[in-house]
Chains A and B, each alone.
Chain A
Amino acid sequence: MNQNDVSDALAPAMNSDTQLVERTVAGDLRAFELLVIKYQRRIQRLVGRMVRDVDLVEDITQETFIRAFRALHQFRGDAQFYTWLYRIAVNTAKRFLLELKHDPTVSESALSSRDEDDETFTARIEPSTDESPESVLAAKEISRVIDDALAELPTDLRQALVLREMDGLSYEDIASVMGCPIGTVRSRIFRAREAVSAKVRPLLDRQTGKRW
């Protein structure tokens, strides 16, 4: 296999992206939805770094996923999905900005770019709304809750989760490290995630309705 074709192929066991992509191409939209849920915020943050207007950010993010969906059959499952998506997001944002520049009804403030030629745009260095005090505080709290929950887990549950999330081992490898059947690994990881998530869920309920 060629290098770049393989490029991230050794990491496909890391997550289900490829599997979900295949499923989407086969016609199942729900699989794509899972990908959207997973990457929505990251893409939005990326776009927010390039564009100031919050509504526009959301439009561009939507557009990014639509374009990705259209081009999905061109995506070779052996490269990283996120990287591929990232590029689409950047190109989509730039295209939007270019179009807006040529639209006389759009005010300057909607754009973040000034004073340069057609083909570049001024990238804002700090994302527009990311680090508002409330969101930072919320993030800290969630982080703390997760840490506490992890420390409180029974050792074998925690170890299984750590081996999966930090070391990226497959269930098979974890099974051999921990000396137990694969089914046990699967169950331990699931129970660990459930236990931690249960503690975080109430915090999230408080946050629904906020935009950022």
Chain B
Amino acid sequence: MKRWLILWLGVCLSVAPVWAQTVATSPALSGDIARWLVRMQDASRSRAFVGTLVVNAGPVMSSSRIWHVCNGKQQIERVEALTGERRSTFRHDNTVVTFLPESRTVVRETRDSLGLMTQLAQRADASLAQFYQLRPVGHERVAGLMTDVVQLVPRDAWRFGYRIWTERQSGLIVKLQTLDADNRLLEQVAFSELEFKAPLPFEQLKQLMHSTQGYQVQTQQLRATTAQEHGWRLSAPELGFVPVKCVHSPQAAASHGALSLQCIFSDGLASLSVFMQPYDPHHLAQAEAHEQMSMGATHMQVRRLGDWWLTAVGEVPGQTLTAFLQGLERPQ
């Protein structure tokens, strides 16, 4: 614990009270997943940071520069892509704004998933302990910071395992690996650089988020719905993946017509989506010849059911996706 840090009051540029810098007892040792989760989630709320995040999924490496600034209870995040198409994504409360400089477009959307996050956290203790076992692994330096390492071992074969590195003092996740049943690495998300400082004041970042002059703004509204409304019955197997929500997804609709439905399930850590779209013989995806695909930890599977084309995608093993696809019915 840096002595001089105690002498520096105020972690975030704000009127927030001094964030108590007590030496954290690692919850990993007590084996309580829920408390550890809460601490992790709180971590980003309390500390401002700037870092470079690198995602390795299969053969692909992507990275981005992250700014995270807080103001008491509020947070703003800015993610700027360093690879691939240039874009900057801002997130503030329930609003996500994405700037695409190359097409001079801005996409603004309101997500309710963040509200869901609190629900999820509250449910976390029951479901997570049921499906995962928390094991402390040790300590390691990542990006120059001391971290506690834990492993979340799945209790069954329907989900993947995780190894998680959290920074000692803040609890911020600095590295996250998704592992398959043989402990092989499927995907890794990690900070290659991380500094706890605010790159600029909260208000300025907020201003940036709303500076859309010169850009064409598109607003995305998602309509919540249910599978039943559309004549589907999902006898979701008792695998611990409970339904979270169903929406008409614009992205899916653009590919297969306006009647695309997306239903999302989650066990608290991993999630999967099932898409139900009309089957159109003129727009056959190459996917038909390949029923199973993967990219990093994400797996995808497809199935045709009469006039419908079903796709399941998620960070779960293929057999879980199969189980969901088989569980879809369209009672007459």
Are A and B interaction partners? yes
Assess whether A141 is interfacial by the CB under 8 Å rule: no
Binding stretch for chain A, among B114-122, B204-212, B220-228, B271-279:
B204-212
B65 touches A3 (CB 8 A): no
B83 touches A122 (CB 8 A): no
Partner among A14, A42, A83, A116 whose Cβ is within 8 Å of the Cβ of B193: A42
A120 touches B188 (CB 8 A): no
Chain A residues positioned under 8 Å from B200 (CB to CB): 10-11, 14, 168
Assess whether B308 is interfacial by the CB under 8 Å rule: no
Contact with A along B75-113 (1 / 0, CB 8 A): 000001011001010000000000101000010000000
Alpha-carbon distance A131/B192, docked complex (angstroms): 13
Contact with A along B27-40 (1 / 0, CB 8 A): 00000000000000
A45 touches B198 (CB 8 A): no
Chain B residues positioned under 8 Å from A3 (CB to CB): 88, 99, 106, 208, 211-215
B13 touches A167 (CB 8 A): yes
Assess whether B54 is interfacial by the CB under 8 Å rule: yes
Binding stretch for chain B, among A28-36, A58-66, A158-166, A178-186:
A158-166
Chain A residues positioned under 8 Å from B99 (CB to CB): 3-4
Partner among A14, A46, A131, A151 whose Cβ is within 8 Å of the Cβ of B141: A131
A158 touches B199 (CB 8 A): no
Question: Residue on B with the closest CB to A9?
Answer: B208
Alpha-carbon distance A208/B185, docked complex (angstroms): 37
CB within 8 Å for A45 and B192 given contacts A2-B215, A7-B208, A158-B4: yes
CB distance from A181 to the nearest CB of B (A): 23
Alpha-carbon distance A49/B191, docked complex (angstroms): 13
Question: Residue on B with the closest CB to A50?
Answer: B61
Alpha-carbon distance A2/B101, docked complex (angstroms): 10
Contact with A along B183-205 (1 / 0, CB 8 A): 00100100011001111100011
CB distance from A154 to the nearest CB of B (A): 12
Assess whether B281 is interfacial by the CB under 8 Å rule: no
Chain A residues positioned under 8 Å from B63 (CB to CB): 86, 90
Assess whether B73 is interfacial by the CB under 8 Å rule: no
B59 touches A90 (CB 8 A): no
B59 touches A116 (CB 8 A): yes
Contact with B along A48-61 (1 / 0, CB 8 A): 01100000000000
Chain A residues positioned under 8 Å from B192 (CB to CB): 45-46, 49
Question: Residue on A with the closest CB to B62?
Answer: A123
Assess whether A6 is interfacial by the CB under 8 Å rule: yes
B141 touches A136 (CB 8 A): yes
CB distance from A9 to the nearest CB of B (A): 9
Assess whether A87 is interfacial by the CB under 8 Å rule: yes
Residues of chain A from 134 to 164 with CB closer than 8 A to chain B in the complex: 136, 139, 147-148, 150-151, 153, 155, 158, 162
Question: Residue on B with the closest CB to A4?
Answer: B101
CB distance from B236 to the nearest CB of A (A): 34
Assess whether A1 is interfacial by the CB under 8 Å rule: yes
CB distance from B6 to the nearest CB of A (A): 9
Assess whether A125 is interfacial by the CB under 8 Å rule: yes
CB distance from A69 to the nearest CB of B (A): 20
Given contacts A3-B211, A131-B141, 13 further A-B contacts (CB under 8 A): A1-B213, A3-B208, A4-B86, A7-B80, A14-B199, A45-B192, A120-B60, A123-B56, A139-B144, A150-B2, A155-B7, A158-B4, A165-B197
The 10 A-B residue pairs with the shortest CB-CB distance in the complex, in nearest-first order: A123-B61, A2-B214, A150-B4, A4-B101, A151-B3, A3-B211, A151-B4, A10-B204, A116-B59, A120-B59
A-B contact pairs, 15 of them (CB 8 A): A1-B213, A4-B86, A4-B101, A11-B200, A49-B192, A83-B80, A86-B63, A87-B83, A123-B54, A123-B56, A125-B185, A139-B144, A148-B3, A151-B4, A168-B198
Taking beta carbons and an 8 Å cutoff, which residues of B are in contact with A? 2-4, 7-8, 13, 52, 54, 56, 59-61, 63, 65, 80, 82-83, 86, 88, 99, 101, 106, 141, 144, 185, 188, 192-193, 196-200, 204-205, 208, 211-215
Taking beta carbons and an 8 Å cutoff, which residues of A are in contact with B? 1-7, 10-11, 14, 42, 45-46, 49-50, 80, 83, 86-87, 90, 113, 116, 120-123, 125, 131, 136, 139, 147-148, 150-151, 153, 155, 158, 162, 165-168
